[in-house]
Amino acid sequence: MEQRTGFDNERYLKEQTAAILERVKKFDNKLYLEFGGKLLFDYHASRVLPGFSPNVKMQLLQQLKDKADIILCIYAGDIERRKVRADFGITYDADVLKVIDDLKTWGIDILAVVITRFDNQPAAKIFKNKLERRNIKVYTHSFTRGYPTEVDVIVSDEGYGANAYIETKNQLVIVTGPGPGSGKLATCLSQLYHDYRRGLKSGYAKFETFPIWNIPLKHPVNVAYEAATADIRDFNLIDPFHLETYNISAVNYNRDVEVFPVLERILEKITQTESIYRSPTDMGVNRAGFGIINDEVVREAAKQEVIRRYFRYACEYIMGFVDKETVQRVELLMEELKIKPEDRKVVDPARKAALKAQKKNKGHEGIFCGAAIELKDRSIVTGTNSPLMHAASSLVINAIKELAEIPDKIHLLSPNIIESIRVLNSDILNAKSVSLDLEEMLIALSISAATNPTAQLAMEKLKELQGCEVHMTHIPHPGDEEGLRRLGVNLTCEASFSTKGLFAG
């Protein structure tokens, strides 16, 4: 059974391309377009808007590549503190390298990387050296003097003028970064300042998918954006400037609304003319709302995303990454939408599997974990941990058996291979646990498939797990988490550890 579609990707791509090119025409020289959100693999958007391609921005760039230059920004502080992009489990600086590589596979080259708010941080200097030694142009911009209130200082040679000018070729300049706070806006405005000093009349605009300005403020899709940014305290509101000027309600978010009066003054100071924008919504070229073709489908998908965010933040809280207020903010959003964690279909089956394993092994030491997956036909498969394998491993084994219609009593893994891995873990690597995590199980399965046609048949079903919903009753072991990420499932887990020990090595 295929997932219902709520979003027309082709219509969106056509409308978005036209909107950007139309905005370019408004300026004599260049348009500096701030690209918000994820440039590649925007899984949040694809989850809340079923039918949205995670790489639609890349498709957009391909259509514009002969008309656009691309600049990547990264905040030096994010490099220094090794900020992680959660969906890939990689740091922001590694994500910049990945984006550069991914763009090349699509036939697109970046013009330069800008390290923003640079103050000779050691890790940022190393990153700069690494890029330059791979023949990538790197610029460093320091913190803008006077920002955000002293406009006369900001718009001067001491402010934006202190930043190096980036030479560009095309009329459209796309400025993007791995996440919020990357310094994209400051880079755009620095370029704008230098252009006007040269007598070149350029402009600025913003492209972000969320929040969607032309759907209701409390629409679940917009609430899901608030849930996704609960850790940085973003919240949506009706754009007061747009309402006052046009008497039209448009949704925007707090940071854009708060900064608009200052940004308007900065733009007018740079250009020495009245701004063409009357509201932060005016600055946007966002057409995502026009791609929604089934409101019921996207509403339900967005509600499910809010629940996923709740589980994620609850786990990050007990691991020390976020504070209690972040979790409470998402709990309040769930109350607004009248949803609860158990409305995620895989939650109860995972909990019941763990409870069943606990009763079955009554008297045994250890924590018994459950896991559940919803397959594409909406059926639910469960798994639990055992002395042989982790819960994630047994879940995947059971799921691919179900898909391949292999009877439960038939074993897919060779006993010799399992014993060899056990000896490696216990006798050679001195590991505390000898049960197979998911990565180890997948390796064992691939080896077994070389001589076992049944294992080969099951292994071929792994690709059918992509996009399936998974829930676990504990925070997964690194080998389980990485394996599930590679399989492309949407994972949530309870804020509970799988072991009583503090070190999970």
pLDDT (tens digit, 9 = 90+) per residue, 304-339?
999 999 999 999 999 998 999 999 999 999 999 999
Residue 264 CA to residue 347 CA, distance in Å, equals 48
Let me know if residue 500 belongs to a domain.
no
Residue 55 CA to residue 42 CA, distance in Å, equals 7
Let me know if residue 505 belongs to a domain.
no
CATH code, domain carrying 445: 3.40.140.40
Average pLDDT over residues 126-140: 95
**Confidence bin at 503 (pLDDT 50/70/90):** very low
Classify residue 182 by its DSSP letter: S
Classify residue 426 by its DSSP letter: I
Percentage helix, strand, coil for the chain under 3-state DSSP, each rounded to 5? 50, 15, 40
Let me know if residue 406 belongs to a domain.
yes
Helix 391-404 to helix 438-449 angle, to the nearest 10 degrees?
40
Residue 210 CA to residue 61 CA, distance in Å, equals 19
Helix 438-449 to helix 478-487 angle, to the nearest 10 degrees?
60
End position of a domain, from candidates 303, 322, 338: 338
Same domain, 88 and 147: yes
Kindly tell me if the per-residue pLDDT of 55 is higher than 80.
yes
End position of a domain, from candidates 176, 209, 242: 209
Residue 304 CA to residue 116 CA, distance in Å, equals 35
**Number of domains making up the chain:** 3
- Tell me: the pLDDT tens digits for 227-276? 999 998 999 999 999 999 999 999 999 999 999 999 999 999 999 999 99
Q: Which residue do the tokens 């216990």 mark?
A: 426
- Least confident range from 189-193, 289-293, 447-451: namely 447-451
pTM of the entire structure?
0.89
What's phi and psi for 470, nearest 5 deg? -130, 140
Same domain, 407 and 447: yes
Q: How far is CA 167 from CA 69, 174, 192, 401, in A?
A: 10, 13, 12, 57
How many residues does the structure list for the chain?
A: 505
Domain around 219: 211-281+294-338
- Least confident range from 82-91, 237-246, 335-344: namely 82-91
Residue among 211, 232, 483 nearest 371 (CA) = 483
Burial class of residue 259 (count of CB atoms within 10 Å of its CB; 0-12, 13-18, 19+): middle
Q: Find out whether the peptide bond into 148 is cis, omega within 30 degrees of 0.
A: yes
Same domain, 58 and 189: yes
Let me know if residue 158 belongs to a domain.
yes
3-state secondary structure of 203: strand
Let me know if residue 501 belongs to a domain.
no
